[in-house]
């Protein structure tokens, strides 16, 4: 861990980065903001950890808990909202056994994230399954996709 | 036969979601096969282009054979083979798959400036942009014009900030050029946070070099050696293409030191937003670039006096900057000839919601909303009735169907209680509940409020609570007055634009749909049939055929009944999701 973090710090010093870019790098490296990682960086830079957590809790992009293996992002933009995204989210939460008030299943297999808008409103409602954008999603289409996901038939693509 | 064949495939986010990658691969595969190469020889090229606007018809493909262009819609990879053999080899386009008349009506009333090269140029190839006149404006400006002359052209064009507020760009730049000090910053605001808007994403994805050229011209005009693009991390494709474009521009000497040999230095850095709507506000954006919590501060001092790291800073929106190269190329008079007296030029809108032809459009300022909805948009989906058009996102308001002849310019939209905003335009039909829409936006602003000032932090929370209880059937007498008073308090006393505009969706829906609010409060009824707590579903026995379709879709198992006999909904178990209502072919489910 320390080796990876040292690399992040070097990049930060070379590129006149800031605390947000350090946190973005940590999140990218470990999938979430590990408390021990933040404490280590804070000690190295002599900046109180509270400063880091202040930023981490302010921005929606940061996670203080690990995310699931599969990340399903549901768009909650206006166009998606009027086209029934709420119902899709409810069925995702139910189908993937996401506990109340949480976004990740207990077995760390699935995370259901809500985002404000992915900017693909003309194909609303939009669900992103592991970086693949699905447009004009219907409850039926979603069910099939979840079935594929559970049976691990899902194709991992990296276009978006 | 030696044909010149060029294929253009839409590869915006919409195009990719619809399968654009597969379509490109199929064309490449087809062209690589020996017998096609023998017939059409070498002049075949497949290009990915940015958003062409009509995302509802993706994947859109242009096939250009010896200069003759045909456009296909809804193309899937398995359709490519037939297009290649019949059209490219055989010479006759596949008639069934070509775009229909409505594709042309979608485009007829549009005037494209910012989007003129979007969907035509390959966003990942600088030469493609240069071949259409790209960077000519930058050369003209740097080689023949002084900074003040440049600003004068922008002032004369009447260009106003496209981020929403509509501040004259020329005036802003004039303030910056007068600001003292050698160190100045130009920031491109690509933190497009409004839900229901994707203009900036499409421009950066479709034509990133226009944004860079606009920034270069702006930076030269205000003598700023440093530029930043603050862009949402939720737009990975746009970020990737922007990075690539900056790299290419550097290689060609349009960025870096001593640009075009004129002794002017300019560099652009990309900063990723971390997901906070408030960072679209200038001072919050600056705090975020500095690596802090994105909280706004009181103005003055304005960023142009004291901005990033304390230096004079200008912040312009993506669309504003993307207009600049075209204005410099074609002249201020050409630009000012479009639009109305006070709102010049064109505006890009993201036309979405319950509209038939949803997509990205660019229209001259001052066009009546009716023409946008019915001519360009092709009317309402599913033959339903138009109820309202929401513009300006969470800071905007609703324009009811009764005043659909309102024209689209800063002044007229302000007069009817909405705003131009950044260009989100969400069409609502008769099945949308306006109280629910207001609640949706308040949920958004409440959770995005940064928490620094009390009126916004607590005011939006209280507004949301009142709206929530109204939609749950617990509305009280006096709630409407309370909403109005509280809204006006939040508007007048909040620190930044977020709080000052957050009550707009509430005020404009109360103004035009007071009866709908009253139905919720006094009759405990949601006229549009949206608010769950005010709804119940039942089965009309006389219409029910006992087909069991509803039992199968009910996620709660709340519907019972034998085959071929009328079914029943158990109210205690029903979660009011509406699945049965949508499934029933016999209209046997009643909602009310």
Least Cα separation, residue B350 to chain A (angstroms): 8
In this prediction, residue A157 carries a pLDDT of 42
The b/e string for B344-361 (b: 16+ C-beta within 10 A; e otherwise) is bbbbbbbbbbbbbbbbbb
What Å distances lie between residue B463 and A71, B459, B480, B499, B506, CA to CA?
33, 6, 11, 12, 9
Kindly give the parts of chain A with pLDDT less than 70.
Answer: 15-17, 153-160
Task: Measure CB to CB from residue B288 to each of A20, A119, A159 and give the nearest one.
Answer: A20
In this prediction, residue B310 carries a pLDDT of 94
What Å distances lie between residue A159 and B15, B164, B263, B380, CA to CA?
12, 31, 40, 32
C-beta neighbour count of B45 within 10 angstroms: 14
Question: Does A133 contact B428 at a Cβ distance shorter than 8 Å?
Answer: no
Question: Does A60 contact B18 at a Cβ distance shorter than 8 Å?
Answer: no
Question: Does B17 contact A59 at a Cβ distance shorter than 8 Å?
Answer: no
- Whether chain A has a CB inside 8 Å of the CB on B220: the answer is no
Q: B51-80 pLDDT, tens per residue?
A: 788 887 888 999 998 888 999 999 999 999
Task: Measure CB to CB from residue B353 to each of A79, A94, A160 and give the nearest one.
Answer: A79
Question: Does B193 contact A78 at a Cβ distance shorter than 8 Å?
Answer: no
Question: Does B578 contact A76 at a Cβ distance shorter than 8 Å?
Answer: no
- Whether chain A has a CB inside 8 Å of the CB on B205: the answer is no
- Whether chain A has a CB inside 8 Å of the CB on B119: the answer is no
Q: What is the Cα–Cα distance from B99 to B41, expressed in whole angstroms? A: 27
Write down the mean pLDDT value for chain B: 92
In this prediction, residue A18 carries a pLDDT of 85
Domain boundaries, chain A: 2-58, 70-150
Task: Measure CB to CB from residue B291 to each of A20, A79, A118 and give the nearest one.
Answer: A20
Question: Does B58 contact A123 at a Cβ distance shorter than 8 Å?
Answer: yes
Q: What is the ipTM of this complex?
A: 0.89
The answer, yes or no, to whether residue B457 has pLDDT greater than 90, is yes
Q: Which residues from chain B sit within 8 angstroms of residue A119, using beta carbons?
A: 13, 192, 197-198, 201-202, 234-235
Closest CA to A11 of A23, A1, B112, A91: A23
In this prediction, residue A158 carries a pLDDT of 38
Q: B179-238 pLDDT, tens per residue?
A: 987 799 999 999 998 888 899 999 999 999 999 999 999 999 999 999 999 999 888 899
Q: B353-392 pLDDT, tens per residue?
A: 999 998 899 999 999 999 999 999 999 999 999 999 999 9
- Whether chain A has a CB inside 8 Å of the CB on B426: the answer is yes
Q: Which residues from chain A sit within 8 angstroms of residue B424, using beta carbons?
A: 78, 121
Q: Which residues from chain B sit within 8 angstroms of residue A89, using beta carbons?
A: none
Closest CA to B198 of B157, B165, B160, B231: B231
Q: Which residues from chain B sit within 8 angstroms of residue A59, using beta carbons?
A: 274-276, 294
C-beta neighbour count of B4 within 10 angstroms: 14
- Whether chain B has a CB inside 8 Å of the CB on A156: the answer is no
- Whether chain A has a CB inside 8 Å of the CB on B385: the answer is no
For B:492-521, CB contacts with A below 8 A are none
B352 forms beta bridges with: B426
Cis check for the bond before B59: say yes or no (omega within 30 of 0). yes
CB A160 within 8 A of CB A151: no
Q: Which residues from chain B sit within 8 angstroms of residue A13, using beta carbons?
A: none
- Whether chain A has a CB inside 8 Å of the CB on B349: the answer is no
Q: Which residues from chain A sit within 8 angstroms of residue B276, using beta carbons?
A: 58-60
Least Cα separation, residue B145 to chain A (angstroms): 34
Q: Which residues from chain B sit within 8 angstroms of residue A61, using beta carbons?
A: 233, 273-275
Least Cα separation, residue B193 to chain A (angstroms): 7
Strand, coil or helix: what is B160? strand
Task: Please name the residues in contact with B443: beta carbons below 8 A apart, sequence gap of 6 or more.
Answer: B464
Q: Which residues from chain A sit within 8 angstroms of residue B277, using beta carbons?
A: 116
In this prediction, residue A132 carries a pLDDT of 86
Task: Measure CB to CB from residue A116 to each of B18, B360, B444 and give the nearest one.
Answer: B444
Q: Which residues from chain A sit within 8 angstroms of residue B553, using beta carbons?
A: 139
CB contacts < 8 A, A to B, total: 146
Question: Does B14 contact A116 at a Cβ distance shorter than 8 Å?
Answer: no
Question: Does B428 contact A82 at a Cβ distance shorter than 8 Å?
Answer: yes
Q: Which residues from chain A sit within 8 angstroms of residue B275, using beta carbons?
A: 59-61, 115-116
Task: Measure CB to CB from residue A58 to each of B16, B276, B351 and give the nearest one.
Answer: B276
Task: Measure CB to CB from residue A133 to each of B13, B272, B444 and give the nearest one.
Answer: B13
Least Cα separation, residue B160 to chain A (angstroms): 23
The answer, yes or no, to whether residue B41 has pLDDT greater than 80, is no
Substitution target from A48, A78, A87, A143 for chain B, most B beta carbons within 10 A: A78
Q: B281-338 pLDDT, tens per residue?
A: 999 999 999 999 999 999 999 999 999 999 999 999 999 999 999 999 999 999 999 9
Substitution target from B9, B14, B387 for chain A, most A beta carbons within 10 A: B14
Task: Measure CB to CB from residue A160 to each of B237, B277, B354 and give the nearest one.
Answer: B237
Closest CA to A111 of A125, A126, A131: A131
Q: Which residues from chain A sit within 8 angstroms of residue B197, using beta carbons?
A: 117, 119, 121
Closest CA to B583 of B570, B562, B567: B567
- What sign has the CA pseudo-torsion B500, B504, B506, B511? positive
The full set of domains in chain B, from first to last, is 5-99 (3.40.30.10), 126-336 (3.40.50.11540), 346-429 (3.10.20.600), 434-522 (1.20.1440.230), 536-591 (3.30.70.20)
Higher pLDDT, B450 or A119: B450
Q: What does the angle CA B76 – CA B132 – CA B210 come to, to the nearest 5 degrees?
A: 85
In this prediction, residue B16 carries a pLDDT of 84
The reported pTM is: 0.91
- Whether chain B has a CB inside 8 Å of the CB on A94: the answer is yes
In this prediction, residue A10 carries a pLDDT of 85
Domain A70-150 in CATH: superfamily?
Answer: Glutaredoxin (3.40.30.10)
The answer, yes or no, to whether residue B446 has pLDDT greater than 90, is yes
Substitution target from A11, A58, A115, A159 for chain B, most B beta carbons within 10 A: A58
- Whether chain B has a CB inside 8 Å of the CB on A62: the answer is yes
Question: Does B198 contact A160 at a Cβ distance shorter than 8 Å?
Answer: no
Stretch (H or E) spanning B198: none
Task: Measure CB to CB from residue B55 to each of A58, A62, A122 and give the nearest one.
Answer: A122
Closest CA to A158 of A135, A123, A124, A133: A133
In this prediction, residue A91 carries a pLDDT of 87
Least Cα separation, residue B153 to chain A (angstroms): 33
Least Cα separation, residue B577 to chain A (angstroms): 7
Share of chain B above pLDDT 70, in %: 98
In this prediction, residue B17 carries a pLDDT of 82
- Whether chain A has a CB inside 8 Å of the CB on B195: the answer is yes
In this prediction, residue B1 carries a pLDDT of 54
CB B482 within 8 A of CB B459: no
């Amino acid at each position: 861990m320390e080796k990876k973090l040292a690399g992040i710090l070097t990049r930060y010093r070379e590129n006149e980065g800031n605390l947000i870019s350090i946190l973005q790098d940590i999140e990218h490296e470990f999938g979430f903001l590990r408390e021990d990682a933040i404490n280590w960086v804070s000690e190295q830079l002599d900046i109180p950890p509270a400063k880091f957590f202040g930023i981490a809790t302010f921005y929606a992009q940061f996670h203080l808990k690990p995310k699931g293996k599969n990340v399903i992002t549901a768009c909650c933009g206006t166009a998606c909202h009027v086209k029934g995204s709420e119902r899709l989210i409810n069925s995702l939460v139910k189908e993937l056994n996401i506990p109340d008030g949480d976004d990740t299943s207990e077995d760390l297999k699935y995370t259901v994230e809500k985002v404000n808008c992915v900017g693909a409103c003309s194909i609303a409602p939009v669900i992103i399954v592991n970086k693949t954008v699905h447009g004009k999603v219907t409850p039926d289409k979603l069910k099939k996709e979840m079935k594929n996901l559970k049976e691990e038939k899902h194709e991992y693509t990296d276009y978006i | 036969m030696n044909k010149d064949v060029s294929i253009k495939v839409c590869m915006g986010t919409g195009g990719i979601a619809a399968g654009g990658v597969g379509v490109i691969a199929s064309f490449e595969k087809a062209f690589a096969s020996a017998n096609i190469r023998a017939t059409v020889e070498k002049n075949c090229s497949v290009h990915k282009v940015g958003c062409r606007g009509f995302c509802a018809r993706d994947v859109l493909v242009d096939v250009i054979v010896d200069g003759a262009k045909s456009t296909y819609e809804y193309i899937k990879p398995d359709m490519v083979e037939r297009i290649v053999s019949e059209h490219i080899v055989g010479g006759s386009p596949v008639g069934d798959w070509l775009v229909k008349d409505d594709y042309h009506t979608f485009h007829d009333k549009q005037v494209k400036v910012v989007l003129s090269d979007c969907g035509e140029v390959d966003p990942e190839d600088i030469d493609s942009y240069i071949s259409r006149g790209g960077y000519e404006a930058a050369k003209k400006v740097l080689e023949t014009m002084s900074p003040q002359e440049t600003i004068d052209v922008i002032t004369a064009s009447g260009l106003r900030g496209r981020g929403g507020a509509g501040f004259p760009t020329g005036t802003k730049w004039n303030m910056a050029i007068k600001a003292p000090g050698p160190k100045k910053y130009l920031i491109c605001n690509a933190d497009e946070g409004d839900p229901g808007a994707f203009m900036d994403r499409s421009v950066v994805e479709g034509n990133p070099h226009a944004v860079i050229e606009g920034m270069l011209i702006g930076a030269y005009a205000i003598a700023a050696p440093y530029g930043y693009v603050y862009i949402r991390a939720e737009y990975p494709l746009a970020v990737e293409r922007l990075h690539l474009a900056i790299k290419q521009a550097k290689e060609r000497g349009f960025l870096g030191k001593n640009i075009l040999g004129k002794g002017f230095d300019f560099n652009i850095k990309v900063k990723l937003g971390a997901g906070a709507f408030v960072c679209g506000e200038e001072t919050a954006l600056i705090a975020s670039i500095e690596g802090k919590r994105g909280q706004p501060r009181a103005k003055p001092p304005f960023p142009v006096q004291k901005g990033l790291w304390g230096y004079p800073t200008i912040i312009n929106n993506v669309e504003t900057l993307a207009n600049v190269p075209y204005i410099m190329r074609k002249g201020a008079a050409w630009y000012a000839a479009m639009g109305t007296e006070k709102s010049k030029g064109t505006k890009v809108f993201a036309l979405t919601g319950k509209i038939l032809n949803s997509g990205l459009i660019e229209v001259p300022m001052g066009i009546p909303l009716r023409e946008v909805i019915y001519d360009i948009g092709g009317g309402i989906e599913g033959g339903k009735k138009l109820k309202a058009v929401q513009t300006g996102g969470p800071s905007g308001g609703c324009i009811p169907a009764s005043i659909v002849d309102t024209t689209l310019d800063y002044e007229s939209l302000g007069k009817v209680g909405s705003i131009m905003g950044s260009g989100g335009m969400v069409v609502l039909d008769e099945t949308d509940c306006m109280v629910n829409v207001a609640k949706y936006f308040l949920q958004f602003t409440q959770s995005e409020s940064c928490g620094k000032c009390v009126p916004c932090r607590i005011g939006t929370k209280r507004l949301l609570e009142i709206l929530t209880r109204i939609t749950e059937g617990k509305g009280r007498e006096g709630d409407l007055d309370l909403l109005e008073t509280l809204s006006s308090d939040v508007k007048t006393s909040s620190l930044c634009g977020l709080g000052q505009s957050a009550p707009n969706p509430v005020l404009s829906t109360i103004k035009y749909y007071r009866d709908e609010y009253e139905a919720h409060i006094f009759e405990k009824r949601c006229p549009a049939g949206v608010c769950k707590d005010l709804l119940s579903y039942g089965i009309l026995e006389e219409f029910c055929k006992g087909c069991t379709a509803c039992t199968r879709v009910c996620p709660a198992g709340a519907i019972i009944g034998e085959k071929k006999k009328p079914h029943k909904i158990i109210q205690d178990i029903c979660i009011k999701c509406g699945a049965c209502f949508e499934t029933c072919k016999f209209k046997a489910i009643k909602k009310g």
